[in-house]
Amino acid sequence: MNGMSLQTDNEFLPLATPNLAGNEQRYLNECVASTFVSSVGEFVTRFEQESAQALGALYGAAVSSGTAALHLGLLALGVRPGDLVIMPSFTFIATANAVAHAGASPWLMDVDPLNWTLDPELLVHELREHASAQGDVVIHRPTGKRIGAILPVHTLGSPADMDAINSIAREYGLPVLADGAACLGAKYKGRDLGSLADLTTLSFNGNKTVTAGGGGVVASDDQALVDHARHLSTQAKTGPGYRHDHVGYNYRLTNLQAAVGCAQLEQLTGFVERKRAIHRTYNQAWQELEGWEPFPEPAWAKSACWFSGVVCPDAATASALRDHLAKSRIAAGEFWTPVHLQTPYMNCAQSHMGVCTPLWPRIVVLPCSTHLTGAQQQRVINAVLDAYQVG
Ligand SMILES: Cc1ncc(COP(=O)(O)O)c(C=O)c1O
């Protein structure tokens, strides 16, 4: 769906749909005409360079999804079967799935209530309580497992507190992989996000601010790490013949997808400005609503504001709001069920979850496509205010 179909008053307003008004069609045609539609081509090379540059990293490897990017990132950083990987529970399940794909298990931690990202104070507390250095490895004492990496998430494009996390990681000698699925356009203390972790991953699936239909990037200033991830993404092939030096994957992004991705990256600045404006307008609208809270933006960061919405006083109010909006033909989404509440990960090592357990059912995600018009956003706001007054 594009902006043209979001016009009339009673028209259904979706959560987040792609905005394909740039060079997408033209680049796709060029790509087809070139016959390079698969894993080699001008667009895929350009896409990995331009997306890394947009993130502020020197190098990037373009792969088939954000989940694949996380999986390869973990492998490139040396995570091994049997390891634990420290990560926040408050994330999309793909973060945990990538850890499991690497043969490791998540050590789940709660988030900071003010920014919904991995809480550095809790991280250090948990490490002090439950981990010990043994030679050059760090062991989680209750399970005896090696800790392979720390995996913070830039939640909804809002950066985790990377200075604090990196200083803890350095103290324990642990590598850091940042899940930056939706973070393109964000800043951390005025800095780009691409060089804040050993590796950072991006997602370009259909609901992201910038999409390639599907896709991901592993980015870093460390060329060897990125080259290794790219090598693993193409079956770890070593030369022109059929020789392979690792267990590889068929994870390379196609040139066709990259053609769309390149056209989308050209529009990144405008898209992120629009996302931020939508976020601001929603947050201003909720200021007077007692007990209702805005989506957070930490003082030290500039979020890319991938998703916007409202935090209701309790789960019942959020559920009633979703029903009310559905009747008004407005999509209103649930937020991620935390990973520690998901069947495959319930028994993982975990901290207390006093923040994300009660928080997630109070969150209502609201329409925030970059082509949402002012009038359409006002329709959403009016419907929320309506529900508040009734409620
Ligand atoms: C935080 C986070 N991590 C990972 C992913 C996975 O990305 P993909 O869907 O491209 O595999 C997503 C996708 O929405 C995400 O939001």
**240 CA to middle of ligand 1, Å?**
33
The mean per-residue pLDDT over the stretch 25-39 comes to 97
Nearest CA, atom 12, ligand 1 = 181
Ligand 1 pocket: which of 51, 64, 65, 67 to mutate (most atoms within 8 A of CB): 67
Last residue of a domain, one of 242, 265, 288: 265
> Is residue 352 in a domain?
yes
Cα dihedral sign, 79-80-84-88: positive
Is residue 24 in contact with ligand 1, taking CB distance under 6 Å? no
Look at residues 245, 265, 285 and tell me which one is the last residue of a structural domain: 265
Query: Which residue, among 134, 95, 133, has the nearest Cα to 111 in the 3D structure?
Result: 95
pLDDT at 300: 86
Query: Residue 389 — very low, low, confident or very high, per pLDDT cuts 50/70/90?
Result: confident
Residues 288, 193 within the same domain: no
CA 362, CA 21: separation in Å to the nearest integer? 34
Which one-letter DSSP state was computed for residue 346? T
Exposure of 40 in the CB half-sphere (CA atoms within 13 A): 2
With a 6 A CB cut-off, is 153 part of the ligand 1 pocket?
yes
- Model confidence pLDDT, tens digit, residues 255-265: 999 999 999 99
The domain boundary, picked from 200, 232, 265, lies at: 265
Atom number of ligand 1 nearest to Cα 203: 10
**Residues 120, 44 share a domain:** yes
pLDDT for res 8: 57
Total domain count, the chain: 2
Determine the angle formed by the axes of helices 42-55 and 255-265, rounding to 10 degrees: 40
Q: Say if ligand 1 is within 6 A of residue 158 CB.
A: no
194's tokens: 């691409």
- Of the pLDDT bands very low, low, confident and very high (cuts 50, 70, 90), residue 1 is very low
Q: What is the pLDDT of residues 225-234, one digit of tens each?
A: 999 999 999 9
Domain that holds residue 330: 3-10+268-390
**Mean pLDDT over all residues of the chain?**
96
Please identify, by atom number, the ligand 1 atom nearest to the C-alpha of residue 154.
Answer: 1
Expressed in angstroms and rounded, the spacing between residue 77 Cα and the centre of ligand 1 is 19
Q: What is the CATH number of the domain that holds 31?
A: 3.40.640.10
pLDDT tens for 132-166 read 999 999 999 999 999 999 999 999 999 999 999 99
Which of 203, 204, 253, 257 to probe ligand 1 with, by most ligand atoms within 8 A of CB? 203
Find the CATH number of the domain harbouring 293: 3.90.1150.10
Check pLDDT > 50 for residue 5.
no
| Contacts (Cβ under 8 Å, ≥6 apart) of 205 | 65, 66, 211, 213, 214, 215
